[in-house]
Structures are given as C-alpha cells and as structure tokens.
Amino acid sequence: MIEALKRRYKRRFLRRLVEHLERPDGARQATRASSSLLTSGRANLMDVATIIREEWAAMTQEHIVRCWIKAECLPAGAAAQLRAPHADYHQPDTPAMAADVQSMAGALMRSSLHATLLPSAQATEVAEGVAGWLNAERDMHGIEDIVDLALSGQDDDA
C-alpha cells in the first residue's frame, strides 16, 4: 500500500512542481506564511499532508487487492482467487504504471524544466527516467549505491 501511495504522491508532486514552474514570474511571488508548492515551488508539510490525504482517498479496490497480493501473506487459495483477475500486478509495464509514466513524461516534455535541464533528451529517455524514479525503491543496486555512499561519509557536493 505504501509503494502504491508513494507512486501516486510522486506523480501529484511532480505535476504541482511543473505547474509552478510554468507560471509567469509574477504569479510565483508568495509570502512565507502562504508559501506552498504551487505558490513558491517549495513544499511544506501541509502540501505533503494534503496530497497524501487526497491520493489515499482516491485509492481504488483494485489498488488494495494488488497490495494484498504483493504482500504474499494470504492463504494460497485466497491469493489465487485474487491473483486470477489481476495477473499483471507486479509488472512495471502494467497499464496503470504506463499511464503514470506517460502522463509524467508528457508533463516534463511540455515544461520549461525539460528545455533547461534535458534539452537533448528524447521522449523515450524522459519516460525511462520517470519510470526509474517511480521504481527507485525497488532498484536494489541503486539502494546499495546510496547506502555505500552514506556509509563512506561522502556527499554529492564534494
């Protein structure tokens, strides 16, 4: 459930960040008291809580079923009954994941962020990057690299 919620949160967060970047400079002005992801480009705890609450409320029965299947804690018979109509639950190229990746990649390609940070990146490369970002928690090599870096005491700014 947490992984599914994180993916939904990341999609919404990126969408709001891109919306902020695409606003005219005058619309970006905000006081500290009214500072938020949409007004200043900086997320605050209220932004995070609001996005998580809204995305949790939008979770469907299918999301919950897929999470139970993935947890592998149900008796074999019950798991088989749930798995039958949801056989693609663990694949990164499921229709739901593909739709999320395409939506986010499209938003990035249309934004000024793409022109600034990724000017020569093709749509397929942006989509691959988005998919990697969405699946970062499952990338064991990436996790090992981050742990090794943290344990070595080095940081990226060095």
Checking if the pLDDT of 34 tops 80, the result is no
Listed residue (68, 64, 70, 114) closest to 91, CA to CA: 70
Query: Confidence band (pLDDT; 50, 70, 90) for 158?
Result: very low
- For residue 88, what pLDDT is reported? 57
Q: What is the pLDDT of residues 43-99, one digit of tens each?
A: 788 888 989 999 999 988 878 887 787 777 888 888 778 777 765 554 556 777 788
- For residue 103, the one-letter residue type is S
Distance CA 76, CA 74 (A): 6
Q: What is the pLDDT of residues 84-142, one digit of tens each?
A: 776 555 455 677 778 888 888 888 888 887 778 778 888 888 888 888 877 777 777 77
pLDDT, position 57: 93
- pTM for the whole thing? 0.51
Domain ranges of the chain: 91-158
- What's phi and psi for 7, nearest 5 deg? -65, -45
- Mean pLDDT computed over every residue of the chain: 77
- Is the pLDDT at 148 greater than 70, yes or no? yes
Sequence-distant (6+) residues with CB within 8 A of 47 are 16, 36, 37
Decide: 73 and 83 in contact? Cβ < 8 Å.
no
pLDDT at 52: 92
- What is the predicted pLDDT for the residue at 32? 47
Beta-carbon contacts of 80 under 8 Å, excluding residues fewer than 6 positions away, are: none
Contact 31, 81 (CB under 8 A): no
